[in-house]
Amino acid sequence: MFKMTWPEVEEYLEKNDVILFPTGSTEQHGKHIAEDNDAFTAFEIARRVAEKTGVLVAPPMPFGNSVHHMKFPGSITLRFATLVNVYKEVCKSLLHHGFKKIVIMNGHGGNTNAIAQALRELREETGKIVYSLMVFAGERGFGSESVKILKQEGGGHACEMETSVALYLGQRVLLDRAEKWKTPKAWTEFDKKYLRKVATAKDFHELTEIGSLGDPTIATKEKGKPMVEAVIDEISVFIEDLKAKKD
């Protein structure tokens, strides 16, 4: 949409009311992936879905909730309330112009709670339903079958999955600098014993000294292809269903 003129947007709105709103983050992605990766991925997936389904894409939101990455240089974070307000105000602007079906295309797990809060408040304040989905393939999301090719244990950040997707999408990846996750030296027996059983607010540098999780060293462009294609195909089916949906 940001490369269109207002009459072109007006013309689109006469025939279609769907818009994709990519959101990501600017944060460290290990020693090997560029900091824009979540925003880049959200935009790339949105752009490819838009091409397939003939819908519009709003400009990507480059900043997210990355407070847990702030020990690594380059990360930028917005406070929770700021982020909720940004999502709400972008959606309210789009609703104002007549986009009735907004889909937030999220590339960063750390944004999930702020997006959920924004969707809830938008519902309360406008009565409108806004949708949100994750652009990375995941066990419980789109592309769930495709992640079965992964071999790593753990993961979840700048890992085998994310690095493979980045390689396939043409992101800047310094694969020779990628390192496999190791238990941080500072971990105590207590930390190891209750890992994944007891939740607490942890910062990323406490979980990983290199900034990534899982095993990005076994990532390949070839593994990225089926995951990206599955996500694009499955999200496109959702967008077609959404286009056809009568309120």
Q: Count the Cβ atoms, other than its own, within 10 Å of residue 191.
A: 14
160 touches Zn ion (CB under 5 A): no
234 touches Zn ion (CB under 5 A): no
36 touches Zn ion (CB under 5 A): no
If the CB atoms of residues 101 and 157 are measured against Zn ion, the closer one turns out to be 157
Stretch that binds Zn ion, among 31-39, 58-66, 225-233, 235-243 (CB under 5 A): 31-39
38 touches Zn ion (CB under 5 A): yes
If the CB atoms of residues 52 and 141 are measured against Zn ion, the closer one turns out to be 141
Stretch that binds Zn ion, among 38-46, 126-134, 216-224, 235-243 (CB under 5 A): 38-46
If the CB atoms of residues 19 and 210 are measured against Zn ion, the closer one turns out to be 210
Binding pattern to Zn ion, positions 190-219, x when CB under 5 A? ------------------------------
If the CB atoms of residues 17 and 38 are measured against Zn ion, the closer one turns out to be 38
Stretch that binds Zn ion, among 13-21, 33-41, 163-171, 218-226 (CB under 5 A): 33-41
Size of the site for Zn ion (CB under 5 A): 2
Closest residue to bound Zn ion by CB: 38
Residues 78/63, Cβ–Cβ less than 8 Å: yes
